[in-house]
Amino acid sequence: MKLSKKERQQLLYQTLKDNPFITDEELAEKFSVSIQTIRLDRLELNIPELRERIKNVAQHNYSEKVRSLPIDEVIGEIVDMELDRHAISILDIKPEHVFSRNKIARGHHLFAQANSLAVAVINDELALTASSNIQFLRQVKLGERVIAKAKVTEQNGPKGRTIVVVESFVNQELVFKGEFSMYRSKNEKVDKQ
C-alpha cells in the first residue's frame, strides 16, 4: 500500500527520531520511493543529513551531557539533561539496593541517585553538595523503577549556592523529595543551542 506524502513524512520523522542512523537510500527502499523524494521530504521537514544527525547525537552526549561528572559516576542512568536547568535519571531497584529482609530500598540509594543527579546537572567543573533537606515519602520496593527529576530552581542563592530540587517517582507517585544546596567553583553562563 502506498502512503500519502503526509503519512510518509510523518513516518519518516518518527523513524529517524527512533533511529537516526539510517541513510537516505535505506529510507527510499523502506518507503518505496526514490532517494530524491526522501531528500525533498527531509528538506521540507528540516531534517539534516545522516552525518549531521549522527554528529548531533554524539555532541549531545559529549559536550552537553556530563561535564562535572564522568558518566559512570552518576548513580542511575541519565535520560535527559539540560545543564543548569533540569535533568532526569532512572534507577532500577535491584537486590543490592534493598534490605535483605523486607526488600525495601535503602534510603541512601535514593539519596545517591538524587544527589549525583544534582551534581551532574550543574554546569561546572567542581560541584559539591553543601547541604540538603530530604524526605522519603513512601517505601520503594525491589524491582521498582525510580525516576528522579532534578530542577535547578535558583542559580545564585545565598553564598552563591545553586539550589537543585529533586523529586523521585515510581509510577507517577512521589517517593522522594530533596532540596540540594550545591557549591560550585564558578558561576557559568547558561548557554543553550
Residues contributing to the site for DNA (CB under 7 A): 4-5, 8, 23-25, 33-34, 36-37, 39-40, 42-43, 48-51
CA nearest to 31, candidates 68, 2, 59, 10 = 2
Nearer to DNA, 36 or 153 (CB): 36
Q: Which of 11, 28, 35, 134 binds a second copy (CB under 8 A)?
A: 134
Which grid cell is 176? 522522594
Please state, in angstroms and rounded to a whole number, the distance separating the CA atoms of residues 19 and 51.
Answer: 13
Nearer to a second copy, 45 or 58 (CB): 58
125 Cα distance to chain centroid: 19
Please state, in angstroms and rounded to a whole number, the distance separating the CA atoms of residues 70 and 151.
Answer: 20
Nearer to a second copy, 44 or 125 (CB): 125
Q: Which of 106, 149, 151, 161 binds a second copy (CB under 8 A)?
A: 106
Q: How many CA atoms lie within 13 A of 71 on its CB side?
A: 10
**Least separation in angstroms between CB 185 and a second copy:** 10
Please state, in angstroms and rounded to a whole number, the distance separating the CA atoms of residues 9 and 20.
Answer: 15
Q: Which of 2, 6, 51, 189 binds a second copy (CB under 8 A)?
A: 51
Other CB atoms within 10 Å distance of the CB of residue 23: 13
Residues that bind a second copy (CB under 8 A): 20-21, 51, 54-55, 57-62, 64-73, 75-77, 90-92, 94, 96-97, 99-102, 104, 106-109, 111-112, 115-116, 119, 125-126, 128-136, 139, 193
